[in-house]
Structure 1
């Protein structure tokens, strides 16, 4: 995919990481490499430019030389706030949409952006999904394609108290890009020290 064809990408790193004892979970190391580096390595061939959505002191991200986008709404309203600030950033670039990924998910698909574009609904929205071994479909709403045209609708919804991503995406009929979960779910995310051990097993 040429740089001209790529959409901006936003890494959602604004969570509280309570199950990891707080701090920036994506700076933890897995098999010697930081999660954030693994995520950037997967996203960079798919999206350009890239920004990090994170709150607090932005200087801790200085070495990455990427824009750091803090939530524009107070009280940590969740991932949709990161989507919103990403859309506002993209609007300033003249982009039509963004792709978002979670900062704690190091194995997400290398064709995520292309598959999301193909799955987009009439609204321009798409979410990633995968099926487990029982055939149940799981949406992964922090991995999505989000049109800039819906940013004011999203802002109004968040200001009105909306927090659940799927409640908003269903309202706009988001498409689903379904990914295979064999041999493991590519959206496996790291929430606990045990998850780090599992990720290291997968890498090995």
Structure 2
């Protein structure tokens, strides 16, 4: 078992897409999550999916399904915690997360996150926006298992914003180029599906 596992965050409610699983929307003939699996699997020792609700709907992917351990959809950090608990049971030391609706993220994500990790072992991905300002991509990160109890306590105490917690632990930052387009482009709306298919066609 590799010391580094991958967790695809698919626990959101997809309100801008009209509900349901964004990862199950079809883009260029495949589920969005298929594109994510294809990019993340070569970079990690094993994968799991963080998702809530009936796990049977995701059975075709053949991966462990990790529900949030906290109620009321407390956000992506709950998915990170579920991933860390799973990794701890596997004897792993860290996980890398990727969002289920982001089909173009870098193929060197894990290498760059690992190289840029802060003193605690945390690191977030980032990329410049259209103005050149670097924006963190907090659903793409390297998360050490050693911090899972601290994260659990923070979530139980009401914390929801990822960067507040990562800043407390001096997370590093791996900045990825946004040319010719932002690799962290995510599919939130039906119009984004059209845009993603155009980008895939151009590639």
Tell me whether the two structures share a fold, i.e. TM-score over 0.5. Answer: yes
Spell out the pairing of 1:98-137 with structure 2 (5 A cutoff): 98-137=95-134
Mark the runs of 5 or more structure 2 residues left unpaired by the alignment: none
Tell me the C-alpha RMSD between the 2 structures. 0.9
Equivalent in 154, 170, 173 of residue 173 of structure 1 = 170
Secondary structure of the 2:49 match is: strand
Matching residue of 1:151: 148
Residues 1:67 and 2:75 aligned together: no
Matching residue of 2:86: 89
Between the two proteins, the alignment pairs up a number of residues equal to 201
Secondary structure of the 1:77 match is: coil
Mark the runs of 5 or more structure 1 residues left unpaired by the alignment: none
Q: How far 1:134 moved relative to its partner?
A: 2.1
1:125-147 CA-to-partner distances (Å, cap 9, x unmatched) read 00000012422011000000000
Q: TM-score, normalised by structure 1?
A: 0.97
Secondary structure of the 1:194 match is: helix
Structure 1 residue runs of 4 or more that deviate by more than 6 Å after TM superposition:
none
Residues 1:196 and 2:193 aligned together: yes
Q: How far 1:177 moved relative to its partner?
A: 0.4
Q: TM-score, normalised by structure 2?
A: 0.97
